[in-house]
Chain A
């Protein structure tokens, strides 16, 4: 497709910048409707998501297997940059997806693992148990979701892992203020 035909912008020039305004190119998709909309699009989307939820358990299993494979590859082939990146991406995907799929505690443990990979000065010096326990906990939470979540074990496990990881990251980043600040900063995600 060719370059789009955009409305001519209004450009104001100042000594060190330009301010470019153009008529809203998406104005034509906005409609005014009287009163409440009978078919709320958000409610419709939530229903569609609920319809999809039957697949979430299988999806989480796939994500967990990917994480386990990345961890095994790192143990086998060493802490290479590529291995660390793949482990981070696998954990990061679980961090982002797990709550949507109904596995919030697994997401919290995955976030803790992401923080270790991102902020540890040297991955080869991270206690082996700390990494292993994160990977195993995520797998266990997903595998045993129906049995352990009822009594809050999953949340307790994630919180404990996060606490130990934060303690470690705080200790090893004393001379790295940028990382220390990031480790101690509150999350921007509501409810964290």
Chain B
């Protein structure tokens, strides 16, 4: 079986709730992580993201000043400082389908609905480490490939043109959001 050497990973956790940050820190340290940086709002997180260059970002959605969705959009700037390809795990109390879609379109890599569990968090981290997706850059999107729909005949308004249709053999973000957290 495969395992992750967590002590080689650098995490940035962004949540305005100190209790949830404590829970996340406890879980990540228990997995073996040593470098866990914490921010309580999106602005601080963006500054820390540029400064510490984390391997993985775990962010809440609802936060004051600017939220987790805006943070994801700012990280996913191809020419910005920092690593625009960094995996972003959105950990949120929002649990509606349209929220998952919004997170996906902001460039979020994985979605984990609260309540949090050790297993759910570990699975999301394992997936971003072992199954990175190619990035897509279009006129209005830069982020991990969103094409995880196995319906090859899909003809939605945002269907990309040119090149053969490649379907990533991974469940959609919506299906993964349904996996018990």
Give A41 to B92 CA distance when docked, in angstroms.
23
CB distance A41 to B3 under 8 Å?
A: yes
Task: Give the dominant DSSP class at A's interface.
Answer: mixed
Give A30 to B4 CA distance when docked, in angstroms.
5
B residues near A150, Cβ cutoff 8 Å: none
B2 within 8 A of A: yes
Give A32 to B1 CA distance when docked, in angstroms.
6
Question: Assuming the A-B contacts A41-B122, A42-B119, A96-B115, are A31 and B132 also in contact, with contact meaning beta carbons closer than 8 angstroms in the complex?
Answer: no
Q: 1/0 contact trace for B1-38 toward A, CB 8 Å?
A: 11111101100000011011011001101111000000
Interface size on A, residues (CB 8 A): 63
* Residue of A whose beta carbon sits closest to that of B118: A45
CB distance A41 to B30 under 8 Å?
A: yes
Cβ distance A112 to chain B, nearest Cβ, rounded Å? 13
Give A85 to B63 CA distance when docked, in angstroms.
10
A188 interface neighbour in B30, B96, B117, B161, Cβ under 8 Å: B96
B74 within 8 A of A: no
B27 interface neighbour in A48, A63, A98, Cβ under 8 Å: A48
Give A30 to B9 CA distance when docked, in angstroms.
11
Q: Which of A9, A20, A35 has the most CB of B within 10 A?
A: A20
Q: 1/0 contact trace for A91-104 toward B, CB 8 Å?
A: 01101111111001
* Residue of B whose beta carbon sits closest to that of A187: B95
Interfacial residues of chain A within 14-69, with CB under 8 A of chain B in the complex? 14-22, 24-26, 28-33, 35-37, 41-42, 44-49, 52, 59, 62-63
Extra A-B contacts (12), CB below 8 Å, given A19-B134, A88-B62? A1-B50, A20-B134, A29-B55, A41-B3, A42-B122, A49-B23, A85-B64, A92-B62, A107-B115, A182-B96, A188-B100, A188-B178
B: residues with CB less than 8 A from A are 1-6, 8-9, 16-17, 19-20, 22-23, 26-27, 29-32, 50-53, 55, 62, 64, 81-83, 85, 92-98, 100, 113-119, 121-122, 128-130, 132, 134-139, 145, 160-163, 174, 177-181
